[in-house]
Amino acid sequence: MESIDKLPSDEPEQLLVKSQDSTDPDYGIEPEKRDIDSLLQYGVINLDKPSGPTSHEVVSWIRKILKISLAGHGGTLDPKVTGVLPCALGKATRVLSALLTAGKEYVGVMYLHTLESTRKLEKVFQVFTGKIYQTPPIKSSVVRKLRIREIYYNRLLEVDNNHVLFRVGCEAGTYIRKLCFDIGEALCSGAHMLELRRTRVGKFKEDNSLVTLQNVKDAFRIYTEEGDESYLRKVVMPMENMVAHIPKIYIRDTAVDAICHGADLAAAGVCLIDARIKPDSNIALMTLKKELIGFSIAKMHAMKIYKAKAGIVATSNKVFMERGTYPRWTEIKSKNKIE
């Protein structure tokens, strides 16, 4: 089923061109062109989690199938819940924090303890849209404190006697089981969740990129036994997909190595700016080849960065790119002079 509703991350990237610059093919590499060994260290799988195992068990199987030592998932699903479970591989696990704030979408079945009219159900679903108060359930991994979560959309899809099919888009950290319980309380008759499937995590969706554990196993076998890497490349995507929903700044080659050494981003290093950037917001720093360098915190909104002639425009937070991937700016300058 194609969702007609939108999460905040669906707002398209709008790039402001601060300065024109080219990127040297001798340094770095476009994410899609990484070799298989690099992809298995800087990749992510849009996995369709089956019902039964825990998210931790599923990740353990991924490690065994791909013969790698490190893997992690972006957002725990209960054992019986199925659907989108992004699994990062190797060093890409450090980027999983980007998915903690990504919006989620679920399709589920709720069981009503008493028959209710569709009109009444629609009104209650409308009440549980926008900012809501929610206390995590008893069986949860977080402190049971009242907190605010945002429901971006909450749609009643179908009603069959006591069974209600619904779709909900929500802020990260929303408990759908608790949402169903609260809807039942609002109906004054009670309700509980029967089944649940996660259909989105940020930009990870139920589309052609969603794969099963069997798909992963088959693709890796074909690669190791036949030397055909085409199937594995369809299964494992570059880690940059995990930051697709985050506003970005693209920087020139000469600024990359300084960022890798922990420097803050100066205005002189900026080429392209996402118009969605706001002060104190988390942003991703990218090379002109669209490689992820790291995370930063914006010091000002996009238009101010665009107009800035000098000064720091973003402070470094996390760095993922290896030092030396791009040379120091003095080396690039010397190379350009020789050429």
The set of catalytic residues is 78
- Helix-then-strand count for the chain, H and E: 9, 17
Task: Using the structure block, give the residue that is written with the tokens 């089981």.
Answer: 177
Rounded distance between C-alpha atoms, residue 328 and residue 257, angstroms: 6
Distance of CA 132 to the CA centre of its chain: 23
Identify whether the C-beta of residue 125 lies closer than 8 Å to the C-beta of residue 218. Answer: no
Rounded distance between C-alpha atoms, residue 266 and residue 308, angstroms: 9
Q: Which two tokens stand for residue 267?
A: 């205005």
For β-strands 71-73 and 82-89, DSSP reports them as antiparallel
Residues 269/321/23/40 CA torsion (nearest 10 deg) = -160
Q: What are phi and psi of 32, to 5 degrees?
A: -70, -15
Give first-to-last CA distance, the chain, whole Å.
55
